[in-house]
Amino acid sequence: MLISIKVVTDSTSYIDNHIKTSLDIYTVNLSVNFPDESFDETRVSYGYFYDKIDRENIIPTSSQPTLGQIFEVFRTIIRQGNEVLAIFISAQMSGTYLSAISAKQMILQEYPEARIEIIDSKTNCMALGIQVIEAAKAAINGLSMEDIIEKVLDLRDRIHFYFVPASLKYLIKGGRIGGASALIGPLLKITPILFVNNGQTDVFERLRGTKKAVERMILKLQQDAADFGLQHLLVHHINDEQQGQALAERLGKLYQKNIDALPIGPVIGLHVGPGTVGLVYSTKSK
């Protein structure tokens, strides 16, 4: 029997369902939890989710897929006689990666010959999604597990994810901005440009006003594209399709290509809030 490599990821990759189906990508879902109700993040209306936060003035928590959920997906693939390549949200952002390691050990007790490889993407959203999509394409094209892993790790080092929140409200509510910054930032209209830095969210720069921050983010993209070449590019937004599409159209004219504007779901969105826009891109070299 011909052995296939099946790619597994989690819902924070925010890969379009059509792409997941066409590339046979398996997904385990994270969830969001309010005091009175919980949602699988793929099954809740974004409008309802953010309205509930504003109405109740509560930032929900998020939870990783259960060990059992990951185990079942792995076992389904192994029972088919296939191999697993799993690529998950940064291990510093979620316990999903460590749960997957545990699920692998459980599978190996039942199926000692099984092959399961797990990669820490060191990021999230479509910065994770791009790694997953390229891995799935490589698997369909018949590359070996070793070659696919090498390809993903090389790509991982060339991916950038910058984003600009519309306000500091969610960052302050969630305790990610505290002390003097929580008091002074909104008064001075200080807007941080955030980025994913080796698996963690960090501040790239702080500017006066959201518009200046977005322009600086675009300039960073242009500088990296000029220096290292541009391979992938897409726009992310949180519950603000109009702003996301406007930025995508602007960049599409700049680079003479169609740019997708893709929504970020609740698990990541709850940390920075609606109105956030971001750029995910990879360069051709480091």
Name the domain boundary from 108, 126, 156: 156
For residues 82 and 176, membership in a common domain is answered with no
CB atoms within 10 A of CB 39: 19
Per the structure, the count of domains in the chain is 2
> What are the tokens at 174?
């969630």
Q: What CATH number has the domain bearing residue 131?
A: 3.40.50.10440
For residues 185 and 239, membership in a common domain is answered with yes
Q: What is the pLDDT of residues 24-35, one digit of tens each?
A: 999 999 999 999
Confirm whether 38 is domain-assigned.
no
Residue 80, domain extent: 5-30+65-156
Name the domain boundary from 140, 156, 172: 156
Q: Which pTM was predicted?
A: 0.94
Q: What residue has token string 């051709």?
A: 284
Confirm whether 210 is domain-assigned.
yes
Q: What is the pLDDT of residues 224-281, one digit of tens each?
A: 999 999 999 999 999 999 999 999 999 999 999 999 999 999 999 998 999 999 999 9
For residues 146 and 77, membership in a common domain is answered with yes
Q: Hey, which residues does 283 pair with through a beta bridge? A: 230
CB 166 within 8 A of CB 276: yes
Name the domain boundary from 103, 125, 156: 156
Distance, in Å, from the CA atom of 71 to the CA atom of 267, rounded to the nearest integer, reads: 21
For residues 224 and 128, membership in a common domain is answered with no
Confirm whether 123 is domain-assigned.
yes
Radius of gyration of the chain from its Cα atoms, rounded to whole angstroms: 19
